[in-house]
Amino acid sequence: MKTTEIHMKPETLRAFTGHWGIVGRNLEGAGKDSEVEVVGTETFQWLAGDFFLQGNWNHDFGKATHSGTSIIGFDVDSETLVSHNFDNLGFSRRYELDTDGLSWKFTGETERAIRTFSRDGESFDEKWEVNRGGKWKPLCELHGKKTGI
């Protein structure tokens, strides 16, 4: 789907909306936190105007927490669907998004992911990778189950 079509049809982002329970695990790319279970929540809701989604996440793994906020929407200047993420670790990241309908690719300079929603929209599987020394390594695998609207 062309990103200009997404700008004209913001309902395409509707798959993200709602409250999600998250389970998963960190992988090799997480370094000392690899093989640690991940449990958390995510919530996505429309900002006024229904052009941008605000997402908030809180993932616990071991004794650590990764939490933050995402703003997802169409960047008119670059004609690209983007996600701007800000987290409790001090990172500000920008990802370009692309979709074929059920699968969403997030591509950033140092991280990338694929989130694939189930056909009924009630769950998703997500795989993240991180670039370490020029090589992409698996960072984490997450599964989300919708817990509310």
Query: Token digits for 102?
Result: 């059920």
CATH no., domain 3-148: 2.40.128.20
Q: Please answer whether residues 122 and 130 qualify as being in contact, where contact means their C-beta atoms are separated by less than 8 angstroms.
A: no
Q: What distance in Å separates the CA atoms of residue 85 and residue 69, rounded to the nearest whole number?
A: 6
pTM: 0.91
Domain ranges of the chain: 3-148
Length of the chain: 149
- Kindly report, residue by residue over 29-64, the tens digit of the pLDDT: 999 999 999 999 999 999 998 889 999 999 999 999
**Tens-digit pLDDT profile for residues 57-110:** 999 999 999 999 999 998 888 888 999 999 999 999 999 999 998 999 999 999
Q: Could you give the 3-state DSSP secondary structure of residue 7?
A: helix
Rounded Cα gap, residues 144 and 132, in angstroms? 26
